[in-house]
Structure 1
Amino acid sequence: MRQNTLSRCVMDVIELESFLNSPPRGFSTERCAGYTVVKWDQENSCVFIDEIQSSKGNVIFCNSPGREITVRTLGEYTDLRRQLTSMTIYILVSACTNTTVEEKRNRDVPDLRYYVVAINGSHPMIRWEMERGLDQTISSVAGESYSVDVDVSAALQGWVGENFQNLVDAEKVKPTWKDTHFTIKYRSDALFDIPYWFGFSKRQFKISYHGR
């Protein structure tokens, strides 16, 4: 996805190595011995990617909070909500594939490829789904701690389509997508946060999109 076409794009799915070799506008990479540092424009993007081990070494996204974002005040939550509905959101997903040969050998470890998913949070459809999901899953940010998983698996599958396949050992294999979410954690200072201590504050909603 390129920033100059952002208003027309809903999302994009880019293999990690392609992303690093030809970063989108607003991103730059610096390769050092054993690792790659990715810098990005924090005015236009939300990057929720942990440090990752790729085929070419460790990849570090500077200033990324990782897949879990913690907020502690109403102001922090409001600012995060504004970012999610006005910027491009980047997360890293895993594509796991088992070939016929691997299945015959009873191999438990599938081939693993990484893709960067970019979602235009300012697109009317995505913004509406994000706002609706947050409104439905977050009942209070004043006296209750909670965790909310924002799952993009439906949007990802809708974007790549049912016929998307990876080439593994000269065999075309349909992947199983993993790590397709990021988590918002609100930590209240309340001493008697009963729902949180009993595990009732874990929630989830999905961002969906079908078609290009």
Structure 2
Amino acid sequence: MATAACEPVARTSLSSISSGELRSLWTCDCELALLPLAQLLRLQPGVFQLRGEQLAVPGPGEPQAARGGFNVFGDGLVRLDGQLYRLSGYIKRYVELTNYCDYKDYRETILSKPMLFFINVQTQKDTSKERTYAFLVNTRHPKIRRQIEQGMDTVISSVIGESYRLQFDFQEVVENFFPPGTEVVNGDSLSFAYEFKADALFDFFYWFGLSNSTVKVNGKVLNLSSTSPEKKETIKLFLEKMSEPLIRRSSFSDRKFSVTSRGMLKILTNMWKVARAKSKGRIT
């Protein structure tokens, strides 16, 4: 259970992951995961490439991105064990959307691959050194996907043609995973948000900050740190499987989701038309 993963007695050691846990692990069992960024770069050389002072990641519009990988969220810079690198091909942690086509594309993009965030961690024993970790969010896990989709659907149902801001936050679940005496230096980077700006004449709730919402995502954090060559090879295969291109099968659940998505898009479009007409004084 997610609550059990947050208890100090249940925290996994950050130095290793058990062989038994790895052998019995499926990607569908992984909700959230952490591993040193340096280890991730070595295990996924085709996805992440260090080029001088740049960390290159295939962006959503690049051909290589269609072959899988991760949706990397960031602000343009990442500090890898003390050295600063520029990011390329990342998704901004904050974006503005102005129409429902942009909203639909954004929603499909962020859910199409596992998410990845960068965090820097210090310990009380040596505050002069920081270690950089990669935090993975498995958007294909039903529990994680449901929290994100429900968060987006709920905020839409609470506003009618109005502007709003929605943030998804992973800071608490990550901080609870690390043992006492560990500090996540840049905890605010463990979130992403989008702001939908509607074409409304009177947007009082938005102006006064009453249409801002935050979803604190919960889940079990899996520790993928390891120094064993055998375990590293297993983790490599696990990461490759997790980041494979998403192939939608013609199952009942997929058909049901597609119908729901089309219905929701139609509702949103009608809401937008009504709000636009109101703002122009065409209807009362």
- Within a 5 Å distance, the mapping from 1:157-168 to structure 2 comes to 157=175, 161-163=177-179
The aligned counterpart of 2:146 is 128
The aligned counterpart of 1:106 is none
Please state if 1:73 is matched with 2:99: yes
Q: Percentage identity across aligned positions? A: 25
Given candidates 180, 195, 200, the residue that maps to 1:190 is: 200
How many residue pairs get aligned? The number is: 187
Segment of structure 1 superposing worse, 190-199 or 15-24? 15-24
Gaps of 5+ in 1: 103-109, 166-172
Given candidates 88, 96, 99, the residue that maps to 1:61 is: 88
Counterpart amino acid of residue 56 in structure 2: V
SS in 2 for 1:138: helix
| TM-score, length basis structure 2 | 0.56
The aligned counterpart of 2:191 is 181
The aligned counterpart of 1:48 is 73
Q: 1:56 to 1:39 in 2, by over 3 A?
A: farther
| TM-score, length basis structure 1 | 0.71
Please state if 1:83 is matched with 2:109: yes
RMSD value, Cα: 3.0
Q: 1:138 to 1:162 in 2, by over 3 A?
A: same
Deviations 1:93-137 (A, max 9, x none): 343x362676xxxxxxx7544322111111111111112222233
SS in 2 for 1:92: strand
Please state if 1:9 is matched with 2:30: yes
Q: Which has the higher contact order (CA 8 A, sep 6+)?
A: 2
Between Structure 1 and Structure 2, which shows a larger proportion of helix residues?
2
Shift of 1:19: 3.0
CA distance in 2, matches of 1:115, 1:101: 17
Deviations 1:13-39 (A, max 9, x none): 132333334436x6131412x333333
SS in 2 for 1:143: coil
Greater Rg over alpha carbons, structure: 2
